[in-house]
């Protein structure tokens, strides 16, 4: 299997190819009917990080691996560069939802360097599928809002370029990471690889006195205003400002390097104070615990 994938990867370095041609080279089976070839190619390559099938052309292509920041255990936290990401999406399942994969409808990336915000990128995205009413009510993003917006494939290279060389940071990071990874792979812009930090996990260790670590609660603690809640840029900028404050808090606690923050995150989180009353559950990608 690995040899077959290696042959396929080598063949695709020359450019995208139909399934029948790809299998003829990789498996030595020429003349396969296109339907059979597509089924075989899906079984061999679908879900493998090095391959993707273009949804528009139907051709298989090899994905490039995005650049990984050069850091080691002694890298200074305040000296690293970070891409603070927030996405809004049609749901919570980027791989497989009830009506197919959920898609991104808005993405924002805030670059943080030397303990300060350097720039902000944001764009609406046409998801090419309906936006559920509860998502529209939460975000204010309706079908007409994204009708003229670019497809993710049209902004994928710009998104990837803004992530390259940075540590990927988000509030409830797994949500944003899964969506950005899935969209980049679908667009053929490469496999996303980067060191990651989750500001929810950081808040659990650095702010153990908070009853909740949702973005609203963490921002309130740091007196950070969220200009547009549940919009990608508003949430990403607020997350970036909170993250900068967390880095300073960590520094004051003697946590100054990449290895030290990883060791801190590997430790069990301290118990939270008991809540007197339950707060409303946030929809989408809020901290649930």
| Residues facing residue 98 across a β-bridge | 100
Q: What is the pLDDT of residue 286?
A: 52
Q: What is the pLDDT of residue 69?
A: 67
- Are 93 and 101 spatial neighbours (Cβ–Cβ below 8 Å)? yes
Q: Which two tokens stand for residue 77?
A: 């936290």
User: Residue 67: pLDDT band by 50, 70, 90 thresholds?
Assistant: low
Question: Alpha-carbon distance 212 to 216, whole Å?
Answer: 9
Q: What is the pLDDT of residue 100?
A: 78
User: Residue 51: pLDDT band by 50, 70, 90 thresholds?
Assistant: confident
Mean pLDDT, rounded, of the chain: 88
First to last CA, the chain: 41
Q: Which two tokens stand for residue 285?
A: 């990608």
For residue 288, is pLDDT > 50? no
Buried b (16+ CB within 10 A) or exposed e, 47-60: eeebbbbeeeeebb
For residue 65, is pLDDT > 50? yes
For residue 60, is pLDDT > 80? yes
Q: Which residue has the higher pLDDT, 186 or 263?
A: 263
User: Residue 284: pLDDT band by 50, 70, 90 thresholds?
Assistant: very low
Q: Which residue has the higher pLDDT, 53 or 261?
A: 261
Question: Alpha-carbon distance 21 to 11, whole Å?
Answer: 10
Q: Which residue has the higher pLDDT, 48 or 151?
A: 151
Mean pLDDT of 90-112: 89
For residue 130, is pLDDT > 50? yes
User: Residue 68: pLDDT band by 50, 70, 90 thresholds?
Assistant: low
User: Residue 220: pLDDT band by 50, 70, 90 thresholds?
Assistant: very high
User: Residue 278: pLDDT band by 50, 70, 90 thresholds?
Assistant: very low
Does this model's pTM top 0.95? no
| Span 137-184, pLDDT tens digits | 999 999 999 999 999 989 998 999 899 889 999 999 999 999 999 998
Sign of CA dihedral 20, 12, 60, 2: positive
Q: What is the pLDDT of residue 49?
A: 64
Tell me, which fold does domain 77-266 have in CATH?
Nucleotidyltransferase; domain 5 (3.30.420)
């Amino acid at each position: 299997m690995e040899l077959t994938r290696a042959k396929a990867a080598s063949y695709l370095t020359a450019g995208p190819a139909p399934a029948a041609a790809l299998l003829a080279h990789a498996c030595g089976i020429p003349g396969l009917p296109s339907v059979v070839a597509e089924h075989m190619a899906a079984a061999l390559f679908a879900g493998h990080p090095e391959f993707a099938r273009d949804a528009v052309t139907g051709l298989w292509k090899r994905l490039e691996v995005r650049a990984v920041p050069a850091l080691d255990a002694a890298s200074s936290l305040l000296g690293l560069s970070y891409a603070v990401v927030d996405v809004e999406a049609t749901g919570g399942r980027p791989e497989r939802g009830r009506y197919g994969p959920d898609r991104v409808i808005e993405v924002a990336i805030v670059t943080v360097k030397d303990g300060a915000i350097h720039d902000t990128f944001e764009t609406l995205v046409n998801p090419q599928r309906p936006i559920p009413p509860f998502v529209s009510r939460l975000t204010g993003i309706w079908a007409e809002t994204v009708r003229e917006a670019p497809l993710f494939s049209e902004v994928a290279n710009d998104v990837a370029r803004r992530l390259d060389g940075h540590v990927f940071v988000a509030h409830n990071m797994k949500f944003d990471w899964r969506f950005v990874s899935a969209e980049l792979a679908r667009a053929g812009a490469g496999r996303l690889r980067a060191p990651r930090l989750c500001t929810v996990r950081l808040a659990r260790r650095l702010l153990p006195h908070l009853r909740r670590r949702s973005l609203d609660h963490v921002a309130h603690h740091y007196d950070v205003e969220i200009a547009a809640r549940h919009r990608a840029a508003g949430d990403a900028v607020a997350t970036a400002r909170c993250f900068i404050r967390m880095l300073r808090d960590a520094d004051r606690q003697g946590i100054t390097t990449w290895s030290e923050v990883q060791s801190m995150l590997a430790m069990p989180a301290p118990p939270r104070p008991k809540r007197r009353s339950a707060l409303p559950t946030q929809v989408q990608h809020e901290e649930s615990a």
